[in-house]
Amino acid sequence: MKGQYKMLADMFGGILVVALCIAIFFLFIGYYVIIKGVIKSSEDERKTINLGHVLISSDKLAYSDEKRINRGILDENKLEQMQPDELFDEIGYPNYNYFIQVNNTDSGKSWLIGEKFKPQIVKVFPVAIKSGDDVQVGKLVVNLKRR
Amino acid sequence: MKGALIFTWALLIVLFLSVFVITTVFVYRYRITIEVNYQYNYNNVQLALLTFLSSTHENSQMSDVLAKQISMNQPIDEGMIKDKLDKIVENRCYTLNTSGIPFEGNNVNCEKKYSATYKLPYPYNPQNITGDAVLVIG
């Protein structure tokens, strides 16, 4: 009888050790996956922020005279004549898709550059928009997702 | 007895590891979120001030309009300034302080604040050739 109890206790002990090993293994796999997910989502956010800053400083969108590019001041003429493919060929991240929306909050005009989709990250940047001799206020919205 | 001891140890180890994993994941996520948000909000306040000062009113840049009005002690069109700032900042709380003259948004009490400063060159004022324009957004 005593031998049977000992055998049962050893069996339970063995099962517990195996279960513990499996639990620890899955715990660390989960840990790794969650941490990786956090890093990836923060990387996407950072990329969206960087993209926004590159766009508002780019000759493709920003107002420029012969001497300099005016960072943060978008040119309405460039927005009107914008070819999305040209912009995406020059500015973008590999493995990411994005589209931008520019709203002139003074005049109510808005521009959509690129094809709309459901974005993973959306970031808004305040910008000025040069329209003729006037410089009005508006915002640039960058919508990004992984391919 | 031996089985119960192993069971207790196993439970304690799993509990400890679970607490460790959950705590570090949350701390890590919190830290990353704070860092990214700080970077984003700080940059956006700079951009908001840049946008405000670059925008025009009656064919003059806002930076020139403010500098002239302050240095010549002229009354400042508060409504126009608030209208522009409301459009740039939208629903967030803000305060623009130009050489001690504050312009405040509707929602003033905000917890976290980010600020940007720009030096305005004052014309016609040899005693005080520059002044700060400070925008604080919550």
Report, in angstroms and rounded to the nearest whole number, the Rg of chain B calculated over CA atoms.
Answer: 26
- Does the global pTM surpass 0.80? no
Domain ranges of chain B: 2-137
Tens digit of pLDDT for each residue in A67-116?
888 888 999 999 998 888 888 999 999 999 999 999 998 888 999 999 99
Q: What is the DSSP string of A47-58?
A: HHHHHHHHHHHS
Report, in angstroms and rounded to the nearest whole number, the Rg of chain A calculated over CA atoms.
Answer: 27
A&B contacts, CB < 8 Å:
97
Contact A20 B10 (CB under 8 A): yes
To the nearest whole Å, the CA of A86 is away from the closest chain B CA by 26
CB of B17 within 8 Å of a chain A CB? The answer is yes
Tens digit of pLDDT for each residue in B34-56?
888 888 888 899 999 999 999 99
**Phi and psi (nearest 5°) for A61?**
-120, -35
Residue A40: how many CB atoms within 10 A of its CB? 11
Across the range A30-54, mean pLDDT stands at 84
To the nearest whole Å, the CA of B122 is away from the closest chain A CA by 21
State how far the Cα of A4 lies from the Cα of A20, in Å rounded to an integer. 24
